[in-house]
């Protein structure tokens, strides 16, 4: 048996999750090169094989990726404290999630199409090719769920999803974790809430 076939048998029978859930089954369709997959610490073998396959696949077209990148940086731009969503690698994370959880593909691809279609109707061009002012005008129509007009409700749903992906992607990146100021994930000794914080909230450990 060639290695490729061996891998296929391994994933389908003993290790794979084909048939378990569509997310996981999807990965089985892809082919791996003939090098053995290295299993990183903390992963099960079937997960390592699956991840390797997903990384070989591509979901977004260059145009879609460009649109996602523009939207990501509108949602989380650089400021005095940290960089932008794209600088933190958010588009690549979204690309991976599309392959990892294929049920997200239609809302994402369809949402991008919806956006391009709206922009073409209004401005004669797809979103990515519109000037910044028009992009922002469009985003303003869908970024505020409680103010948006009913006729753009699908755009609101799409933007909510985009906002969620961008926030998760940014704040789980190294840059985003530094920005948010998370101080843990390191050996330490928990001795309680710092004294000045207790004082600020009028709390104590004696009461």
Residues 131-170, interacting with another protein (CB under 8 A): 139, 143-147, 156, 159-160, 163-164, 166-170
Minimum CB distance to another protein, residue 77 (Å): 6
The smaller minimum CB distance to another protein, of residues 124 and 164, is found at 164
Rounded to whole angstroms, the Cα distance separating 111 from 160 reads: 11
Stretch that binds another protein, among 28-36, 105-113, 125-133, 199-207 (CB under 8 A): 199-207
Structure token digits, residue 149? 């007009």
Q: How far is CA 54 from CA 26, 68, 77, 156, in A?
A: 9, 19, 28, 29
The smaller minimum CB distance to another protein, of residues 103 and 124, is found at 103
Of 168, 169, 145, 172, nearest to 158 by C-alpha is 145
Structure letter (DSSP) for residue 36:
P
Count of residues binding another protein (CB under 8 A)? 75
Rounded to whole angstroms, the Cα distance separating 45 from 10 reads: 10
Minimum CB distance to another protein, residue 149 (Å): 14
> Which 30-69 residues touch another protein, going by CB under 8 A?
41-42, 44, 46-47, 50-51, 54-55
Minimum CB distance to another protein, residue 83 (Å): 11
The smaller minimum CB distance to another protein, of residues 24 and 116, is found at 24
* CB-side neighbour CA atoms (13 Å) of 68: 27
Choosing from 35, 38, 121, 190, the residue that interacts with another protein (CB under 8 A) is 190
DSSP per-residue string spanning 107-136: HHHHHHHHHHHHHHHHHSS-GGGS-HHHHH
Choosing from 24, 65, 108, 112, the residue that interacts with another protein (CB under 8 A) is 24
Rounded to whole angstroms, the Cα distance separating 139 from 118 reads: 11
Decide if residue 193 touches another protein (CB under 8 A): yes
Rounded to whole angstroms, the Cα distance separating 136 from 113 reads: 17
Minimum CB distance to another protein, residue 50 (Å): 7
Stretch that binds another protein, among 61-69, 97-105, 110-118, 124-132 (CB under 8 A): 97-105
């Amino acid at each position: 048996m060639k290695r490729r076939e061996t891998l296929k048998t391994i994933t389908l029978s003993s290790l794979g999750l084909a048939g378990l859930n569509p997310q996981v089954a999807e990965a089985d369709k892809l082919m791996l090169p003939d090098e053995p997959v290295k299993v990183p610490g903390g992963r099960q073998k079937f997960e390592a094989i699956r991840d390797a396959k997903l990384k070989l696949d591509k979901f977004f077209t260059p145009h879609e990726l460009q649109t996602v990148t523009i939207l990501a940086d509108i949602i989380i731009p650089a400021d005095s404290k940290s960089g932008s969503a794209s600088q933190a690698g958010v588009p690549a994370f979204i690309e991976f999630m599309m392959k990892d959880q294929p049920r997200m593909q239609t809302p994402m691809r369809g949402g991008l199409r919806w956006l391009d279609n709206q922009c073409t109707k209004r401005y004669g061009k797809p979103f990515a090719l519109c000037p910044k002012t028009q992009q922002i005008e469009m985003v303003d129509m869908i970024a505020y769920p409680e103010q948006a007009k009913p006729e753009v409700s699908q755009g609101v749903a799409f933007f909510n999803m985009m906002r969620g992906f961008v926030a998760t992607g940014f704040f789980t990146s190294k840059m985003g974790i530094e920005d948010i100021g998370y101080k843990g994930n390191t050996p330490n000794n928990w001795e309680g809430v710092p004294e000045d914080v207790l004082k600020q909230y009028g709390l104590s450990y004696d009461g």
